[in-house]
Structure 1
Amino acid sequence: MSAVLEQIFQVGFVAAIIRIATPLALATLGEMLSERSGVLNLGIEGIMLLSAMTGFMGAYYSGNLWTGILVAALTGALFAALHAALTVILGVSQHVCGIGITLLCTGLAYFFFRLSFTDSSHPATIESFRTIAIPILSDVPVLGPALFNQFALTYLTVLLIPLLGFLLYRTPWGLNLRMAGENPRAADAAGVNVVATRFWAVTFGGALMGVAGAFLSMAQFNSFTFGVISGRGWIAIALVVFGRWDPWRCAGAALLFACVDALQLRLQAAGITHIPYEVFLALPFVFTILAMAVMSRDAAAPPALLRPFRKEER
């Protein structure tokens, strides 16, 4: 027990929670925007994987990490726009299209990565993002090194949460987006272009998913592997429900999942050998299932979620 407590009560444990939560928060916020507009994007897992690959390749060939982030964001936006074109404009089933996008992106990631890097015995690597210490704040005892010595993308994610909260609840753009997901007929009658609103919400959400994938291959790690996402896209969909389609709550849900994930890593590091390590690996996912079972009972999804909008139908 003392070894477990020693692993938990460390500055590194809090710092690890923040790092693990960053890509989850980005992906969850992207999925939340899509669903608030009325479109479920099940392509998130594949979009994150392909974006992690293209972002890595962009940084590898250009030598600039931010170029890789831009490439990843554009990749996510492109395939999210494809999903929006099929579901919003053509009215294709959102479930079927999302699964198809995931399969397509996964296949493309495998194909282009193997095509670009044929020597599997020497995996390609890049100089990953480095943490940035904020002067004065990072010198605060205990929490300073954990909270204020993070990646630049982590700081941007923290700023994005209140920004999305403000845009969603305090601007006409946010009102239009919420109306498109709650009552598209009323939104259309009020002069809102429901199709365009949904299309751009899904596309921007895809860009955030792309950056989330790139974070894993360019900040948390310095290389791309096919298991780099490891189901985080599916977890993000569950966290949207857990966070009740609200930016602050979704970020909190991502932080809570990251806490459980960081805990299982610390439990493994504590040298607990009488419990199979697979049990620790499954712990965050079991927690997510249990949280979903509890929170989904009275979770009020956007009323028009999964419902295609056709202007000609009344």
Structure 2
Amino acid sequence: MDAFEQMLVGALSVGTVLLFPALGELVSERSGVINLGTEGGMLAGAMTGVGVALGTGSLPLGLAAGVAAGAVAGLVHAVAVVRWRANQLASGLVVWFLVLGVTSVVGAGFYGEVVDPMAPIRIPFLADLPVVGTALFDQSPLVYLGYVLVPLTWWVVHRTRAGLVLCATGERPEVVLAAGRRPQLTRMVAVVTGGALAGLGGVALTLGSVGNWSDGMTNGYGFVAVAIVSFARWSPVWTMAGSYLFGFALAAGTVVQAHGVAVNQYVLDVLPYVLTVLALVLTSARGRWWGPESLRAAIGSSL
């Protein structure tokens, strides 16, 4: 496998870690709620997944527990914002700090312990395609799940009644209420779903890739996922593209070092984040930063 193929493999693996929370944030923002606590949901899922997998010896149970932990983090944010009308940005940051502290204390019990991550599944014939075969079709089951969730999210948001209610809640909640629906409930469900997907992203990092837990190991990916959604203009397909682009930038640094190219480590570490900021600046300059009018207003006001 040459260097470019190694970068592609890494792009899909790391990109999937970002894709799940980004899709969750997309659903949440479609309902009119921004969740900066996505980073906290990822941390909760990452730590809980490893802890349960180590305690039970079962990767599926660890996966389920990680998703549930992310959902709980999302529920805390949803209750604060939707029921208690707290400021969205402040609530998200509080959730992040809260989860960061809890995972630091609880996760200390299994520092250094290793769990075998999910084995890759090779799809015959397709995995033998030149250049892209191994990257696309010899991956962790969670990568394949990402392939499915993107079109599924697009279909739900754009082609179902539930998606119509979701988007209408983010744009004109008073119209949804007049139609006999419950915008508060819709927002609660959307934010909890986003938290669950953030937890799944954390599990994809630990059980799907590295196989262990370390304090703060999500390394800001949750905030990057929030940025990717804005860059992608709330499109599931572009969200996938942005996630894989960031994953490619991260993988490129590792592969370059592995091939003996002398590049400053700090430059490699900062490159993916610089790309994210540039993408956001370009998107903002074209007048596409916040999208729905109600979402702009939601940042500084209560629901």
TM-score, normalised with respect to structure 1: 0.91
Alignment pair present for 1:40 and 2:34: yes
Alignment correspondent of 1:239:
228
How far does residue 15 in structure 1 lie from its aligned partner after superposition?
1.3
The 5 Å alignment of 1:1-314 reads 8-9=3-4, 11-114=5-108, 116-117=109-110, 123-273=112-262, 275-297=263-285, 298-299=287-288, 300-305=290-295, 306=298, 307-309=301-303
Q: Deviations over 1:255-308 (max 9, x none)?
A: 1111222222223223233x4211111111111111111112311522222254
Q: How far apart in 2 are the matches of 1:92 and 1:225?
A: 31
Give unmatched runs, 5+ long, in structure 2. none
Give how far 1:7 is off. Answer: 5.8
Matched residues, number: 297
Question: Greater CA deviation, 166-175 or 178-187?
Answer: 178-187
Residue pair 1:181, 1:303 contacting (<8 A) in 2 also: no
TM-score by length of 2: 0.94
- Counterpart CA distance in 2 for 1:191 and 1:251 is 34
Percent identity of paired positions between Structure 1 and Structure 2 = 35
C-alpha separation between the residues in 2 aligned to 1:267 and 1:135?
29
Q: 1:266 to 1:7 in 2, by over 3 A?
A: farther
Tell me the C-alpha RMSD between the 2 structures.
1.5
Kept in 1, the 8 Å contact 2:67–2:199? The answer is: yes
* Higher helix proportion: 2
Q: Hey, what's the Cα distance between the residues in 1 that align with 2:63 and 2:237?
A: 24
| Letter paired with 1:76 | G
Deviations 1:10-47 (A, max 9, x none): x2221111111101111110111111100110111122
Paired with 1:73 and 1:53, the residues of 2 have a C-alpha distance of 11
CA distance in 2, matches of 1:199, 1:33: 11
Superposed structure 1 runs of 4+ greater than 6 Å apart: none
CA distance in 2, matches of 1:102, 1:143: 36
Equivalent residue of 2:155, what SS?
A: helix
Contact 2:14 2:205 in 1 (8 A): no
1:126 is aligned with what amino acid?
V
Larger-Rg structure: 1
Q: Secondary structure, in 3 states, of the residue corresponding to 1:92?
A: coil
